[in-house]
């Protein structure tokens, strides 16, 4: 469980750092997303789908970890 928390924290930290770094380069959000033919809208959509599937995989892993833990205790 602790390792997953660590992964999640690292993930959030990475997203936060990326967002702050990006906030300094682009003037406004919509300018960035609507530059170069709105290709970043597509990138954002793919990232959202990937993160959604990843979140489900993490929750499945946690369930499995719970079972493994009880297996050890028995």
Partner 1 sequence: MGYLKHWWKVLAAVLVLYALIIGMTIPLRNGIVSDKSSMTLKTGQKQTLTVLFYNARYKKEKPEAITARIRIDSAKAICAESVTITAERSLDLKFNIPTIDPNSIKAPFPFIEIGSPENGYVFSSVYLSASADSITNNETSFCTASYLAPSTKPSFPFLNILEESIRNLLYHVPMWFGMMLLLLISVIYSVLQLTKPEGLKNDIAAKSFAGIGVLYGVLGIITGALWAKHTWGAYWSWDVKQNTSAVALLIYLAYFVLRSSFDDADKKARISAVYNIFAFATLIPLIYIIPRMVDSLHPGAEGNPAFSSYDLDNNLRLVFYPAVVGFILLGIWIATIWIRIEKIWQRKIETL
DSSP per residue, the chain? -HHHHHHHHHHHHHHHHHHHHHHHHSSSHHHHHTSGGGHHHHHHHHHHHHHHHHHHHHHHHHHHHHHHHHHHH-
Question: Of 13, 26, 56, 58, which one interacts with partner 1 (CB under 8 A)?
Answer: 56
Which one of 48, 58, 72, 73 is in contact with partner 1 (CB under 8 A)? Answer: 48
57 binds partner 1 (CB under 8 A): yes
Q: Which residues bind partner 1 (CB under 8 A)?
A: 30, 33-34, 36-39, 41-42, 44-46, 48-49, 52-53, 56-57, 60, 63-64, 67, 70
């Amino acid at each position: 469980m602790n390792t997953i928390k660590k992964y999640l924290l690292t993930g959030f930290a990475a997203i936060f750092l990326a967002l702050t770094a990006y906030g300094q380069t682009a003037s406004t959000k919509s300018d960035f997303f609507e530059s170069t033919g709105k290709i970043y809208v597509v990138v954002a959509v793919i990232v959202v789908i990937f993160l959604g599937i990843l979140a489900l995989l993490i929750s499945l892993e946690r369930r499995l970890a719970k079972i493994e833990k009880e297996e050890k205790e028995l």
